[in-house]
Each structure stands twice: as structure tokens, then as C-alpha cells.
Chain A
Amino acid sequence: KQEVTQIPAALSVPEGENLVLNCSFTDSAIYNLQWFRQDPGKGLTSLLLIQSSQREQTSGRLNASLDKSSGRSTLYIAASQPGDSATYLCAVRDNYGQNFVFGPGTRLSVLP
């Protein structure tokens, strides 16, 4: 059964720092991987989607990489801002495309 973990569970950094969030999954037979942001009490906002055949995706200050064989993905945030403070979740879709499995999230605080 697919399991997804995220390290660290929480992270606090000063504004302007570059940072990396980690996501690991146990079964490399995935269809795609998606990174989300969740603000307190809100739904999830999609940040980046990486197909299993891709190595990375970029959107603005965000860059996500995927190493399927080792079961890892990283989300890189450049020049962090207080507005980046949120919980970041990764989710993998299985190879049949039917099911998403989510990690527990990393709670990020960017201090002004």
C-alpha cells in the first residue's frame, strides 16, 4: 500500500531564505505527483503537477522535482515571503489513475 511522508513536519525561516520541502513515497509506480498549499481552514490550492515521465516543473518562485526511482520529490521555494506561510502537502496518484495518497504536510512559517 502506498505511503507518503513529508519532512520536516514544521519549518520556520526568516524572510528571503531559499528552502526545500521533502516528500517521499514507498511505491514508485505512480501516475503523477501534485504539490498543494493549504491556508488554515481553507481548501487546497494546486501549486505544481509533475507527470511520472517528467523530472521537474517550475512556476514562478517554485520548483518541484521528481525522482521516481528513489521515491522522492522536493519543492524548492526561492526568496521566501511571509505570504508563503501555509501548510504544503504532496500527493501521489497511483498508476491506475484512480486514487490519490496524501502526505501529512509541512507547516511553513516565514517570519518578516
Chain B
Amino acid sequence: DGGITQSPKYLFRKEGQNVTLSCEQNLNHDAMYWYRQDPGQGLRLIYYSQIVNDFQKGDIAEGYSVSREKKESFPLTVTSAQKNPTAFYLCASSRGNRGVFGEQYFGPGTRLTVT
């Protein structure tokens, strides 16, 4: 089955620790995205990548870092510099190269709680 997987589903960390969220897709999509969702708010873009070894900051990149070493994988690290890391994190991918962009598909999400 093609799709996007995120792990783990729930993650608990102590304040001051870095944590890495996994996102893998087997849809052969070029573009991948990380969003954050807070209660009662829409999704906000953290980072996106349109090609391997390249990524761009979204609206709320401060305190986060990413890498894109493989087409299938786009891990997100939440660093200790992120002031309010507790949130629901969603990974997405879409076809996107040569000016042609398709539907965005989402993973099931990771709920991060930092205490």
C-alpha cells in the first residue's frame, strides 16, 4: 500500500531535550512538508522540501530543523529552542517538480507532549 507513515503516534519528552519525528513516504513524491496543528487553529507550515538535499523554511521554522537525505524520508527535529513544542505534528507529501504540483497527502500525525 502506498502512503505516508509517521512514527511514533505519541511522544513524550522532558523540557530541554531534542526529539526527532519520523516521516516516510513510498508515493515517489518529490515534495514533502511538515506542519504543526494547535487546538482550534489551522495547520501552520514549519518546513518543506521539493527535492533531495534541499529544503525551505515555512512560517514557523524557529526551533525546528529538518534533513532530506533520501527522497522517501523527511525527519523533523524539535530542538530545545522551540518555546512551545507541545502540538500535533503532521507530515505531508505531493507530486511536485517541473512546475506540476498535485494533491497533498498526509500521514496520521505524531502528538508530541513536552513537560
Chain A residues proximal to chain B, CB less than 8 Å: 4, 31-32, 34, 36, 41-46, 49, 89, 91, 93, 97-105
Q: Given A34-B104, A44-B90, A46-B104, A104 and B42 touching (CB < 8 A)?
A: yes
Task: Classify chain B's interface size.
Answer: 20 to 34
| Contacts across chains A and B counted by CB atoms under 8 Å | 58
Q: How far is the CB of A99 from chain B (nearest CB, A)?
A: 6
C-alpha gap A29/B104 in the complex (Å): 19
**Within 8 Å CB of A36, what residues of B?**
106
Q: Are A43 and B45 in contact (CB under 8 A)?
A: no
Question: What is the 8 Å Cβ interface bit string for chain B, positions 85-114, against chain A (1 contact, 0 not)?
Answer: 000101010001001011111111101000
Does B33 sit at the interface, judged by CB under 8 A?
yes
Q: Given A97-B101, A100-B33, A43 and B109 touching (CB < 8 A)?
A: yes
Q: How far is the CB of B11 from chain A (nearest CB, A)?
A: 14
C-alpha gap A72/B41 in the complex (Å): 20
